[in-house]
A = this chain, B = another copy of it.
């Protein structure tokens, strides 16, 4: 029988008493602040269904979620958007933790979730944790769903094995669209996790097949496999940062997947740990990842490893894989005093590896004696240790095979998938005349992303611009278009905003005599949408009415995809140019992924060019990245003054080059963890030292290098 229901009380009336074959049909409209508990006992032939009467037309929003328990249930066609879950999951395959091993009453088995969309159903606080799917039970099928833009902490889909009810589960996860997962800026940005270290010696027997992972960039692990005997087959990983990681558990099969990096930063492939793993017939192309994030990474283990550390790779079979323009293939990765057990009893056979550069991608970080190499084909020279197992052919060529699954075949047809676009694509250009609050008035008229074009003259902004959309403010040139502002900040970034300032001059001379002013601040409340900040050809001066007056100040739980400063100058400032250090709790969070300053001048800036802080000791993030190129730093802060010209705490990658440091305090590099790559090269300086390096974690490897920096008085 079909039960059309139009509101939540109708739903509650029918849900208690459903017979096999019954269907609850949610009527079109927005279902706000609803917590569905869907329970029942269907049969294989006659499941019980909860569905949108019209797929995609029942929108679940607000603080809402769905809990399932019973058997032979089907959930179909719902859309979760414009809200977030108040509990620990959007959709949970159980209603409560079961009391004992024989009690299945609170768990869903033989249940299908299909054609469900969860789109940006993200907690507004990016560092509050939840899952979108908490999969318990057995024999559940999750297919043709669409999951995109999870912006807050917590795995998108977690297969959980924490009681016997959910082990050896034989779930099938297939034909799902895992849409973009933006960089989180913390641990907890995995897209799919199967198991946890605690239960990783249990078998899961989960099949993950024909799914499309599209720009899943949350953190270093896209898929974190933490259980045994799973099959991960025929999936596509498209321009996704990170790797499929066989982190815990044995006997998994990784077959027929395609990793298409297209040269995007940090795109990785497969990371192999533990025993009896089979890596077969995968296609990996254009992957730039390094270290644990490389294209193919076979790790070292810890002898007699505790369950949550690294088990030795044993009896691995890596065969029939094709790797094209993969920058790094690493054996013995992570080799150190603790991780001393190199792979054993393993085979690397009949793989084809082609690089346009003709350079070898292999890195051997430990002995490869435990790996049998044979029948592999390459188009470059390999070192002596590998020579026996590789046949080199200069003319070796590989045509790109068809993808195992296409974007069109996954998810649903009636909900749009992600298309790349320019963040600053503006629908509208508006001219703004000089005067007081002409800029704020023009801004308040805008409905979408726009460019405001300012003429020559003086603009005073008496009210902070509360920016909630992408905006370009472009002047007629430095010194020609002059901006002042009368509040603590010129622009506050609200969720959904990004800003480019271009070709203008900004003075702090009319700002109030208050602490912690800034030209641009992120919101004081958490923001879950990442933003971008650009200063192009901007002159900023006289931020000195009070102390700690910064150019850009990012606050807690806010995150920039990038901050770009180019062709700009900064002078007479009591704070910093870039103050990106609000995550001081050492929980592994930080304020910006890519920070670039080039071709710019900085003088008399007491807080220095930048303060970047990424605390914590986990290795879950690729960033922050810093790039300083052709920058002149003068008395910023003055040599001998407290502070640093540049402070990099826990930065994972930095290049400081081709710059001049005159009469300025040193650069301070504080290593925390990971394999940070910090280079200081080709700089001139007239006050010693140019830099200091500290290691927060005693004994940590320092990968700091400095070359060709020239001192002259």
Q: In the bound complex, do residue B512 and residue A129 qualify as a contact, i.e. CB atoms below 8 Å apart?
A: yes
Q: In the bound complex, do residue B526 and residue A462 qualify as a contact, i.e. CB atoms below 8 Å apart?
A: no
Q: Is A88 an interface residue (CB 8 A)?
A: yes
Q: Which of B86, B515, B585 sits near A463, CB closer than 8 Å?
A: B86
The interface residues of chain B lying within 8 Å CB-to-CB of A516 are 585, 587
Copies in the complex: 2
Which of A125, A524, A557, A585 has the most chain B CB atoms closer than 10 A to its own CB?
A524
Q: In the bound complex, do residue B487 and residue A524 qualify as a contact, i.e. CB atoms below 8 Å apart?
A: no
Q: Is A488 an interface residue (CB 8 A)?
A: yes
Q: In the bound complex, do residue B488 and residue A87 qualify as a contact, i.e. CB atoms below 8 Å apart?
A: no
Q: In the bound complex, do residue B587 and residue A87 qualify as a contact, i.e. CB atoms below 8 Å apart?
A: no
Q: Is A464 an interface residue (CB 8 A)?
A: yes
Q: Is A128 an interface residue (CB 8 A)?
A: yes
Q: In the bound complex, do residue B87 and residue A125 qualify as a contact, i.e. CB atoms below 8 Å apart?
A: no
Q: In the bound complex, do residue A88 and residue B524 qualify as a contact, i.e. CB atoms below 8 Å apart?
A: no
| Residue of B whose beta carbon sits closest to that of A95 | B436
Q: In the bound complex, do residue B88 and residue A129 qualify as a contact, i.e. CB atoms below 8 Å apart?
A: no
Q: Is A442 an interface residue (CB 8 A)?
A: no
The interface residues of chain B lying within 8 Å CB-to-CB of A86 are 463-464
Q: How far is the CA of A348 from the CA of B686 in the complex (A)?
A: 63
Q: Is A514 an interface residue (CB 8 A)?
A: yes
| Residue of B whose beta carbon sits closest to that of A33 | B444
Q: How far is the CA of A548 from the CA of B463 in the complex (A)?
A: 39
Q: Is A21 an interface residue (CB 8 A)?
A: no
| Distance of A547 from chain B, by nearest CB (Å) | 9
The interface residues of chain B lying within 8 Å CB-to-CB of A548 are 585, 587
Q: Is A14 an interface residue (CB 8 A)?
A: no
Q: Is A525 an interface residue (CB 8 A)?
A: yes
Q: Is A96 an interface residue (CB 8 A)?
A: yes
Which of A87, A486, A515 has the most chain B CB atoms closer than 10 A to its own CB?
A515
Q: In the bound complex, do residue A129 and residue B525 qualify as a contact, i.e. CB atoms below 8 Å apart?
A: no
List the 10 closest A-B pairs by CB distance, nearest first: A525-B525, A86-B463, A515-B587, A524-B526, A87-B463, A125-B524, A129-B514, A87-B462, A88-B486, A516-B587
Interface residues of A (CB under 8 A from B): 86-88, 96, 125, 128-129, 436, 462-464, 486-488, 512, 514-516, 524-526, 548, 556-557, 584-585, 587
Q: Can you report 28 residue pairs joining A to B where beta carbons are below 8 Å apart?
A: A86-B463, A86-B464, A87-B462, A87-B463, A87-B486, A88-B462, A88-B486, A88-B487, A88-B512, A125-B524, A128-B488, A129-B488, A129-B512, A129-B514, A515-B585, A515-B587, A516-B585, A516-B587, A524-B525, A524-B526, A524-B556, A524-B557, A525-B525, A525-B526, A548-B585, A548-B587, A556-B556, A584-B584
